[in-house]
């Protein structure tokens, strides 16, 4: 009988990938800007052309979300991400400051270990590969176990396109034998120089604990405040569409509506017109029990599911036309599980009196589980919009747009990315949308602007210290004095 140790196989594959990546990176270091751009464009095109097939594969393997929406995310992560970085210089001299006589030279990070999630598996692979290779790094993908096949296929599509366009073999790789020890071995390997982690809190903590540079981003608990000055029809349409998009598997999706009291009833009606189904207290308790374990952890069987699926899990009845479920809530915290992040089609609902109360409720949600991530506001009063921007400890304040598509940069001007930094508030090194600029360093050639001060050029004026003879004489005198005292 043959005994197979899956962990050992995974560890060995991680080592082999790291070695091959390092060899490829050494060759890629000498690529020209034309080489880099040709290879990346080929990868982006191949990924875009495979967007529908990979979206279907991701849906079938994970059971999360909507295949058509995953296609849209794949198209975004290939074409939109590439378009946003195509003109960025990443080879050789990339900038010159003639006034200060500084010349900036791009230098890659080296070999990237990229941890990818099960919720957006293929699109995250695409974005990370493009931004890493554009900066002249190699990359090894370590996918979530429940999305191993679709992540591997996405990486293979891009690796083949890269090699056909002239990239060295091994520049883009993906681990196929997934295990926690294997992923840990990859992150700790001596040839890995940067960890790029997207996923849940445990994954991000693991990435930061290795002792290497890490760009780790975790969960969001995104509040959406709707002010009395808002365009209510637009707000209702966007909130329902955003929460139902891919069944809420993007971490910037709306988690609770915070409605200004004068417009709350109208907003509720408009959301119902868009397919939001509001549940009463008892069904809400059943939903809560179905979505979360007693310790607050989310039930993975509920992630990325339709309202009808969730209703069956909870044992409640809802209309077939419902696009999302909305549960009225009164507090934020562990005693109210539905105030947590919910990567599925359930939305919380709060009513407040005025924007100041809306601001405070938003802060409660952010502190409870979304530090540094995202806040959404629907309003036309610019003073209130600015107040939210100044006060919230988050790095994306989205104004009058969808949370899911606004935060990643599809409907806003932020950099297109599937990896959203949460900054110091959220335990990340940056609050940016992670893109090519985070994947290389800049060397600086610094020429003299000013002659050094004259004093800096003079020899030291300090008197010479005591000689060994001086020290010996001082010791003898102390000893002699002690003997006399006896």
Written as six digits, the tokens of 424 are: 């110091």
Helix (H, G, I), strand (E, B) or coil at 142: strand
* Distance of alpha carbon 469 from alpha carbon 406, whole angstroms: 77
- The separation between CA 423 and the C-alpha centre of its own chain, rounded to angstroms, equals 10
DSSP 336: B
| CB-based contact 396:101 (threshold 8 Å) | no
Cα separations (Å) of 106 from 29, 88, 109, 195? Answer: 11, 11, 10, 19
Beta strands in 21-101 (DSSP E): 92-97
Give the catalytic positions in this structure: 251
**Token pair 């849906």 is at which residue?**
59
Cβ density class 445-471: b for 16+ within 10 Å, e for less: eeeeeeeeeeeeeeeeeeeeeeeeeee
| CB-based contact 213:374 (threshold 8 Å) | no
Written as six digits, the tokens of 255 are: 């988690």
* Distance of alpha carbon 57 from alpha carbon 199, whole angstroms: 20
β-partners of residue 246 are: none
At 220, give phi and psi (nearest 5°). Answer: -125, 155
Largest interatomic CA distance in the chain:
105
| CB-based contact 195:14 (threshold 8 Å) | no
Count CB neighbours of 387 within 10 A.
16
| CB-based contact 90:440 (threshold 8 Å) | yes
DSSP 420: B
Helix (H, G, I), strand (E, B) or coil at 254: strand
Provide CB contacts within 8 A for 222, sequence distance 6+: 252, 253, 254, 255, 341, 365, 370, 373, 374, 375, 376, 403
- The separation between CA 238 and the C-alpha centre of its own chain, rounded to angstroms, equals 23
**Token pair 């009164």 is at which residue?**
330
- The separation between CA 230 and the C-alpha centre of its own chain, rounded to angstroms, equals 29
């Amino acid at each position: 009988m043959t005994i197979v140790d899956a962990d050992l196989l995974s560890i060995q594959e991680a080592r082999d990938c790291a070695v091959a990546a390092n060899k490829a990176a050494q060759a890629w270091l000498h690529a020209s800007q034309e080489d880099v751009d040709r290879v990346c464009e080929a990868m982006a095109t191949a990924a875009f052309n495979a967007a529908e097939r990979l979206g279907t594969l991701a849906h079938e393997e994970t059971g999360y979300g909507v295949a058509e929406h995953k296609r849209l995310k794949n198209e975004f992560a290939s074409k939109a991400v590439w378009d946003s970085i195509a003109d960025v210089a990443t080879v050789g001299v990339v900038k010159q400051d003639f006034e200060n006589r500084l010349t900036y030279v791009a230098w890659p990070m080296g070999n990237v270990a990229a941890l990818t999630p099960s919720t957006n598996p293929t699109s995250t692979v695409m974005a990370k590969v493009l931004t890493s290779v554009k900066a002249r790094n190699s990359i090894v993908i370590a996918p979530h176990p429940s999305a191993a096949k679709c992540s591997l296929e996405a990486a293979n599509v891009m690796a083949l396109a890269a090699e056909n366009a002239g990239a060295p073999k091994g520049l883009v790789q993906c681990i196929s034998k997934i295990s926690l020890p294997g992923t840990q071995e990859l992150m700790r390997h001596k040839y890995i120089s940067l960890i790029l982690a997207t996923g849940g809190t445990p994954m991000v903590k693991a990435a930061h604990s290795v002792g290497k540079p890490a760009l780790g981003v975790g969960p969001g608990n995104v509040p959406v405040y709707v002010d009395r000055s808002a365009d209510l029809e637009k707000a209702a349409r966007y909130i329902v569409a955003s929460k139902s998009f891919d069944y809420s598997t993007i971490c910037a999706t709306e988690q609770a509506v915070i409605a200004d009291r004068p417009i709350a009833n109208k907003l509720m009606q408009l959301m119902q017109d868009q397919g939001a189904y509001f549940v009463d207290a008892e069904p809400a308790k059943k939903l809560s029990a179905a979505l979360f374990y007693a310790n607050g952890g989310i039930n993975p069987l509920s992630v990325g599911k339709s309202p009808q699926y969730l209703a069956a899990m909870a044992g409640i009845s809802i209309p077939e036309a419902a696009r999302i479920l909305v549960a009225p809530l009164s507090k934020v915290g562990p005693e109210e599980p539905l105030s947590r992040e919910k990567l599925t089609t359930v939305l919380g609902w709060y009513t407040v009196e005025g924007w100041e109360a809306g601001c405070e409720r938003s802060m409660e949600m952010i502190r409870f589980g979304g530090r540094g991530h995202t806040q959404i506001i629907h309003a036309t009063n610019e003073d209130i919009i600015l107040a939210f921007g100044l006060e919230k400890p988050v790095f994306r304040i989205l104004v009058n747009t969808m949370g899911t598509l606004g935060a990643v940069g599809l409907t806003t001007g932020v950099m297109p990315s599937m990896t959203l930094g949460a900054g110091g508030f959220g335990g990340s090194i940056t609050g940016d949308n992670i893109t090519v600029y985070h994947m290389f360093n800049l060397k600086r050639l610094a020429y003299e602007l000013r002659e050094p001060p004259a004093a800096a050029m003079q020899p030291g004026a300090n008197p010479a210290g005591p000689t060994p003879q001086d020290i010996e004489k001082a010791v003898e005198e102390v000893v002699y004095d002690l003997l006399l005292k006896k």
